[in-house]
Amino acid sequence: MNLRNVAIIAHVDHGKTTLVDQLLAQSGVFRANEATTERAMDSNDQERERGITILAKCTSVLWNGKAGETRINIIDTPGHADFGGEVERILGMVDGCVLLVDAEEGVMPQTKFVLTKALKMGLRPILCINKVDRAHADPDRVHNAAFDLFAAIGATDEQLDFPHIYASGRAGWATLDLNQPSDNLSPLFDLIVDHVPAPKQVEAKDKPFQILNVLIESDPFLGRLLTGRIESGKAVPGMAIKALSRDGKTIEQGRITKVLAFRGLKRQPVDDAEAGDIVAIAGMSKATVADTLCALEVTEALPAQPIDPPTISMTVSVNDSPLAGREGDKVQSRVIRDRLLKEAEANVAIRVTETGGKDAFEVAGRGELQLGVLIENMRREGFELSISRPRVVYQTGENGERLEPIEDVVIDVDDEYSGVVIEKLSARKAELTDMGPSGAGKTRIQLKCPSRALIGYQGEFLTDTRGSGVLNRVFSHYEPHKGAIEGRLKGVLVSNGDGETAAFALWNLEERGVMFVGAGEKTYQGMIIGENSRSDDLDVNPMKGKQLTNVRAAGKDEAVRLTPPRRPSLEQAIAYIEEDELVEVTPKSIRLRKQVLNPSFRKKRVREE
């Protein structure tokens, strides 16, 4: 049987997972009466809620086309820049890729990022111009822009001779010529089989067994599952193997207990798997990502693809607020440390280090969203944590100068808001590189901007553009430090005591600013209950009730009607806080607080600084 391994790569929201849905449906993976869900590959709770792909996942389809029966292993990848580590890992498992580009939005920052990685590994890309049935689609412009991108990032002559195809993932059709309509994805299947080469590993099927681990999962029945492409030999259950680290040292020896091959959306045990196929192997307990599983006679490890370093870090520490331990059951530093190290083992784009204080850990990743997803997963598992403001990870240049990460930013915004966006980002040390109309009354703005300038900017951006702007960003390179950047312009309202908030007190405080809490909620000294309308912090008493006398009865005055509080989400809270503040995260609550709860000690620290 013919075999093809292909990855589907694209910018976020360009339709990868929806296209994979249709590829699965049209290849006969689902039974006629089987219930199917939309975006079937997004199996994770957070992926469904957020509408984005977070983890790279593998599936497999059988296609009977012009070249006969072919098994196509398809890997669906995340499109968001923060999860680029997932894309970098899996590109080593495939021989070709389908680059999806939205026929209206065109080439975006993440398109450039994933394509650069794919071309560097020598993959042969297929350009799929998706969503050609959209109202403002312009396939010819997008095709030209994609060709310019290929040329700009140094594609070889062979890679520049890429085939292109037009598609509508949602409607489930693809065609090589827009003048010849189609009602299915057969042209795309046939193009993949024709253009993507068969795995060259097939020639090494008689050599000793070797596989490079790319993805790691844990199964409650089978234990650790290690996924990768077999580079040589055969994998057979019961076979004795060993695990080698990157530098060739033996980590452990064991036996393969199960070989699982991808068949549609399910993994099925198989009796053997040959070189070139993508499989999951059970039976090892210590081997992890980038390790080599191999036959006992093999001495050299397979080369692992280097991963780009993290650009943003934050401190995760034990929750030490007065309300700690009331909502979560995992509060000890030892349990938090084990969970973070487990995450770093499975996700190579995250780095965990212990700080001087044993109760706090430095977690570094690609962006606020990636770190936010990790913290959200932990709070759902019952953890209580304190999170610091994200900081950029600096590097030291050859001359000893401090270098900071710079990002490529592409903003699509209604014409009337382009001025305020450029003004705000210029004040944050961003440099405008290109600007022009993008159709439908919108302007596309392209900038180079320091990563630290974008921390906390998303909320302000949505306010400035009345929620209509779209901001896309991806890490570009390091540059010398650009100097101080102004932070949050408004101060906060801080509770000066412990207790429950009173509606009467909050009603009187509303003229001071925007509230983050409602009536009848527990609060404590040093907790942030709202945003001040001025630039300084203000200690207030949110628990003060109405003073009642014989003359002044409870129901005499007007009824207290409170404005609904502005409750920040986890990402908004992390982006909002300043250096002297923390986010308290529990399974049921997200609270903002000062690092130093006592107001006297806070003032003393400010005086000392």
CATH at 131:
3.40.50.300
What is the pTM (predicted TM-score) of this model?
0.81
In angstroms and rounded to an integer, the radius of gyration of the C-alpha atoms of the chain is: 27
Q: Are strands 273-274 and 234-235 parallel, antiparallel or unpaired?
A: antiparallel
Q: List the CATH number of the domain containing 252.
A: 2.40.30.10
CA–CA separation, 489 vs 483, rounded Å? Answer: 18
Examine the domain organization and report whether 10 and 113 are in the same domain.
yes
Phi first, then psi: give them for residue 559, nearest 5 degrees: -65, 140
Residues spanned by the domain of 41: 2-198
Spatial contact of 456 and 381, defined as CB atoms under 8 Å apart = no
Is residue 364 a part of any domain in this protein? no
Residue 42 confidence (pLDDT): 62
Element (H, E) at 141: helix 139-152
Indicate the annotated binding residues: 13-18, 130-133
How confident is the model over 484-524, as pLDDT tens digits? 887 778 889 999 989 999 888 888 888 888 999 988 899 99
Residue 524 confidence (pLDDT): 92
**Which of 151, 167, 198 delimits the end of a domain?**
198
Q: List the CATH number of the domain containing 437.
A: 3.30.70.240
Examine the domain organization and report whether 151 and 274 are in the same domain.
no
Is residue 320 a part of any domain in this protein? no
Residue 63 confidence (pLDDT): 85
Residues 6+ apart with CB under 8 A from 398: none
Residue 584 confidence (pLDDT): 93
Examine the domain organization and report whether 55 and 113 are in the same domain.
yes
Q: Are strands 68-76 and 57-65 parallel, antiparallel or unpaired?
A: antiparallel
Residue with tokens 């970098």: 88
The residue ranges of the chain whose pLDDT is under 50 are: 35
Examine the domain organization and report whether 436 and 505 are in the same domain.
no
Examine the domain organization and report whether 424 and 496 are in the same domain.
no
Reduced to 3 states (helix: H, G, I; strand: E, B; else coil), residue 528 is: strand
Examine the domain organization and report whether 114 and 212 are in the same domain.
no
Spatial contact of 165 and 127, defined as CB atoms under 8 Å apart = yes
How confident is the model over 449-479, as pLDDT tens digits? 998 888 878 778 888 888 888 888 888 888 8
CA–CA separation, 412 vs 561, rounded Å? Answer: 39
Q: Give me 451's structure tokens.
A: 């990563």
Residue 18 confidence (pLDDT): 84
Spatial contact of 566 and 459, defined as CB atoms under 8 Å apart = no
Indicate the annotated binding residues for GTP: 13-18, 130-133
Residue 556 confidence (pLDDT): 53
Q: Give me 308's structure tokens.
A: 């780009």
Reduced to 3 states (helix: H, G, I; strand: E, B; else coil), residue 577 is: coil
How many domains are contained in the chain? 4
Residue 529 confidence (pLDDT): 92
Examine the domain organization and report whether 456 and 520 are in the same domain.
no
Residue 10 confidence (pLDDT): 85
CA–CA separation, 254 vs 296, rounded Å? Answer: 10
Neighbours of 482 (CB within 10 A): 16
CA–CA separation, 569 vs 375, rounded Å? Answer: 12
